[in-house]
Amino acid sequence: MKRIRLLLLKILRHLRDNGGNDGYATSPDFSPEYSKEQVDYHIHLCREAGLVRCTDVQCGNGELKTELVLTWQGHEYLDDNRD
């Protein structure tokens, strides 16, 4: 799959702006512009680069949810790539 720099930035901005008090956010939905597979792949790339930390959490209903938090490196990446 091709890396889309704009999607990487959208994911990081989403986490920065929607992290809540504990810094965690769920996987963003950017449809119809990007597919779930594209978003998941780019979250994987962000994780590999150390830009985000992912934690799998089991909800009360048994559903598994991945929580994402922007790391220091993720904040630095956003600062270096401002519009």
**Structural domain count, the chain:** 1
Instruction: Note down the domain range covering 69.
Output: 5-80
Name the one residue in this structure whose structure tokens are 């909800």.
Answer: 59
Block means of pLDDT (10 residues each) for the chain, 83 residues, are 94 85 67 88 95 86 84 95 81
> Backbone phi, then psi, for 44, in 5-degree steps?
-60, -45
CATH of residue 70: 1.10.10.10
CA 41 – CA 24 distance, rounded (Å): 19
DSSP assigned state of 2: -
Quick one: pLDDT at residue 78?
95
Q: What is the DSSP letter of 51?
A: S
